[in-house]
Amino acid sequence: MTPTILIIGATGNTGRAVAQTLPELIRSNSTLNGNRIIALTRSSSSPVARELAKLPEVEVIEQNWVEITADWLRENQVARAFIASHNEPNQFAEESTFYVNALNAGVKYVVRISTTAANVHPDCPAYYPRQHWAIEAMLGSPEFNNLQWTSLQPNVFSPLVISPAAAFIKKYRETGEQDTLRLMLSEDAPVGIIDPDEIGVIAAHLLAQDDTSVHNKAKYILNGPEDISGKQLVDMIEKYTGATVKDVRYKDVSFIDKLFEYQYAPTKQSKNVIYSIKRAPETAWEGKCSSSTTSKEILELAAPKRTPTDVLDALLKEEGNF
């Protein structure tokens, strides 16, 4: 069996672009040409999975990645892997188990998705960046020297930031009425939000490298090409609607209340842990997450190009309101 490149989370925010970009890259690579590409999904009947299955080089397989064993990796000759894990409170247990199995199965290289670089330290108030820090510390230990890895530390995903603006514009155009505009951004701090598809493109370029050792143990910071502040986003909305936004709430993280109520409370997760997510944007509000922090290696590999305006336009088109 030929070596396999495994894409975990292939139908997710970033994994889809990995699966779409990788075939062309390895097709033109004499070393990797002919490698098998497995795209994992929880449902092969989902719209994204069906689209990926149309790619001749991609094999879509239903498999819960947290149940992958070293034997499964060996049987499928997995040599390289991409992983975009969940960020639930049990992330470290499940993601670290995958790396232990990958190490024991002889996997050579892994590209993983981390989180905002300014938060990845052991005393971050929000819980999930501490998990990413712990995983990176584990992978950087001598025991894992035989498993090469790159950790991508992307800024906040642009649809999460821009979606409230798109919804506001849509309602105003339909009804002429305004709700309170709730923005995660602060009024003035510049933030280099990034489109998740472009993160996937970067990951695909890394997986297609002849010599992955150049990027071994690297932690790359990813931002979009342009900064945006809350005030700039309000200005964009007013340009699209031709009306002054009457009520804006900056630094709004009230969506965490609903997230806890509907997703986590029924499963008895700690409210103290989940509510710590509200602290995650603080580094952005402090001006520590601008596009100027992007790693130079990312700009050389596949510099992100989608601006906040591009993302807003796309969201409005998706809603049939542009």
Instruction: Tell whether 253 and 283 lie within a shared domain.
Output: yes
pLDDT value at residue 321: 46
**pLDDT tens, 43-102?**
889 999 999 999 989 999 999 999 999 999 999 999 999 999 999 999 999 999 999 999
Spatial separation of the C-alpha atoms in residues 31 and 236, rounded to whole Å = 47
Instruction: Tell whether 166 and 77 lie within a shared domain.
Output: no
Residue 52 lies inside a defined structural domain of this protein: yes
Spatial separation of the C-alpha atoms in residues 243 and 178, rounded to whole Å = 10
Instruction: Tell whether 79 and 175 lie within a shared domain.
Output: no
Q: Which amino acid is at 261?
A: E
Instruction: Tell whether 85 and 178 lie within a shared domain.
Output: no
Instruction: Tell whether 171 and 285 lie within a shared domain.
Output: yes
Phi then psi dihedrals of residue 308, to 5 deg: -55, -40
How much is the pTM? 0.95
Residue 35 belongs to domain with CATH number: 3.40.50.720
Instruction: Tell whether 143 and 217 lie within a shared domain.
Output: yes
Instruction: Tell whether 10 and 67 lie within a shared domain.
Output: yes
Instruction: Tell whether 232 and 115 lie within a shared domain.
Output: no
Q: Do residues 203 and 18 touch, judged by C-beta distance below 8 A?
A: yes
User: Total structural domains in the chain?
Assistant: 2
Residue 294 lies inside a defined structural domain of this protein: no
Place of tokens 């025991």: 143
Question: Which regions of the chain are under pLDDT 50?
Answer: 321-322
For residue 7, list its beta bridge partners: 39, 82
Residue 243 lies inside a defined structural domain of this protein: yes
Domain holding 232, by residue range, is 158-192+225-289+307-318
Instruction: Tell whether 103 and 18 lie within a shared domain.
Output: yes
pLDDT value at residue 319: 56
Q: How large is the angle between the packed helices 230-241 and 158-175, nearest 10 degrees?
A: 30
pLDDT value at residue 320: 54
Instruction: Tell whether 42 and 182 lie within a shared domain.
Output: no
Instruction: Tell whether 236 and 149 lie within a shared domain.
Output: no
